[in-house]
Amino acid sequence: MSEITVLVLARRGDPGLAALARLPAGTRALVAHDLEGALPLAPSADALLVATGNARLLEAVWRQAPRVRWIHTRPAGVDHLLFPALVQSPVPMTNSRGVFSAALAEFALLGLAFFLKDVPRMLRNQASARWEPYEPIALRGRALGIVGFGDIGRAVAARARPLGVRILALRRSSAPDPLADEVLPAARLLEMAARADDLVVATPLTAETKGLIGEGVFAALRPGAVLVNLGRGPVVDETSLLAALDQGRLRGAALDVFEQEPLPPDHPFWRMDSVLVSPHTADRTAGWEVDTMEVFLENLRRFRDGEPLLNPVDKGLGY
């Protein structure tokens, strides 16, 4: 059996590259940091490890890599990496989903508590040395709608339920899930929103989910709801979100993703007490680059041995 060659596309100094020292027997890695370095190596590649979000680089390498039989992306989100030729090809794609879920779930709880406990008020009062008792809101007893009940959504539910939060999950299939009090199909989004006190968005970006969370959902949510977006920025219609915040229909929004990134300096979100801005780093906890490599290494062994791969991506659906 000939040696399997993996072409790794990564930025210089990527901490995850140290894991390449543990490649399974019968495999080797060639590392490229840019297009100039990658193109000469592409024809010899049997597999690609994409450790960068550079879609143009991936597409250019793909065109010069006729031997590639598998692609693994270290990011969990792949919508920005897909292009027609890749989607239409039979080459399987996998990702490192699951690695980021715990950190994102923690951010969701932070976002909910930030507004329900009115942390902005605490900070304003502390800055002015003002003693002003008030009544914070308890998480216990609230209904949390989770749009997208994959690894991230389920991780949020696993952490929220022990706090007494009722979980209403929305996904393509309405099959019961032990982490949800109720699972609803995607067609019942507005019904779920009407029954939710707060909403966490954890769905990937597809043609169907772009702008999914908009005026209709914000109108349906119970007054004083908190929105947390962990998925992709364009899933939430920011114009409708701004209107709901300005009109006081939402208590607040904790956002890790945005329609445009980086968020422009003149964007209203920067100046709103009702918005918590995170620069798309909620999942970048210490060691994340190394952690994502474990899934790749296991999949490389499976690829070598002809076994089913972990974390397959449905390229047609985009996740």
Catalytic residues, which ones?
A: 232, 261, 280
- Backbone φ and ψ of 72, nearest 5°: -115, 130
Give 100: exposed, middle or buried? Use CB within 10 Å, 0-12, 13-18, 19+: buried
Q: How far apart, in whole angstroms, are the C-alpha atoms of residue 25 and residue 23?
A: 7
Tokens standing for residue 158: 């696993």
- Residue 82 near residue 62, CB atoms below 8 Å: no
HSE-up of residue 105 (Cα within 13 Å, Cβ side): 19
Q: How far apart, in whole angstroms, are the C-alpha atoms of residue 95 and residue 113?
A: 31
Q: How far is CA 169 from CA 32, 54, 115, 151, in A?
A: 41, 33, 22, 12
Sorted by sequence, the CB contacts under 8 Å of residue 217 that are 6+ apart come out as 189, 190, 193, 199
